[in-house]
Amino acid sequence: MYGTETPDGGTAYLIGPSAAKCEGHYFNADGGLVIAATSTTSPSQGTTMTLRAGGAGPSADLACPYIPAVLAADRTMRGNYYTASSCSHPSADVVQQITTEAANLYAAAIWVPPTVTDPHLATSGDGTDPTVAFYFAWADATAANGEAIACTLPAAQKAICAISLEYFASTVANIGSIRVTPDTHERMQAELSAFLSER
C-alpha cells in the first residue's frame, strides 16, 4: 500500500505492486490530483488513481467513454465542441455497468486485452498485460464528475489489480452530497469482484 499527502492535508492510499515507485501529481491550476504506483522494471505496469480530473471539462470527460449518463452530460456541456473520439473506447474493451441504486450516481468496470490500446487508459496495450479499471461518477443533464483507478499487471499478478480496484471502490462510495447505502455498497463490491474474477 502506498500513500501520499493530498493538498487538503489528508492522505490518499493506493494498492499497487511491491516493486513500484509512487508519485502524486497535483495540477495546481485546476485542482487535478493523480497518484500512480509504477513498476520499477516496466513503466507500462502499475496502478494509477485519478481522484480529481481537474476543471469542468476534464471532470466531464473522465468517465464518458464508459458510462452512458456521463457521455450524455459531456455532449450537452460541450455542445458544438463535442467530439465523439474523446468519449469512445476500443470495441474489444469489456465494459460492465455496476449498480449504485442512487440517482445520478454511476459506476463501471472495464477490462482491456493486452494487445489493445485504450487511449483513456495510458498503460493499456503493452502487448503482454491486461488492464482493468473502475470508474465512479456523478452526472446530471449538463455536468459530470468522478474518480477512477486503472491497473496493468501481468496475469500472474491479477490478484493485486483486483485488490487495488476493490479497495478503491470501498473508499469512494460518495461524491458530493450523494451517498451509497451500506447494502448497495456491498452489492457494488460483489459485482466488481465477480467481474474481475471472470477476467
Per-residue pLDDT, 97: 98
50 pLDDT above the threshold of 90: yes
Residue-range domain boundaries for the chain: 46-197
Cβ(62)–Cβ(53) below 8 Å = yes
Cβ neighbours, 10 Å, residue 40: 12
Provide φ and ψ at 35, rounded to 5°. -125, 135
29 pLDDT above the threshold of 70: no
Confidence of residue 170 (pLDDT cuts 50, 70, 90): confident
Cβ(14)–Cβ(49) below 8 Å = yes
pLDDT digits (tens, 9 = 90+) for 181-193: 888 888 999 999 9
176 pLDDT above the threshold of 60: no
- CA geometry: angle at 115 spanning 147 and 94, to 5°? 50
Alpha helix stretches (DSSP H) within the chain: 56-61, 68-78, 158-171, 182-197
For range 126-135, the mean pLDDT? 97
Per-residue pLDDT, 49: 95
How large a percentage of the chain has pLDDT more than 90?
A: 65
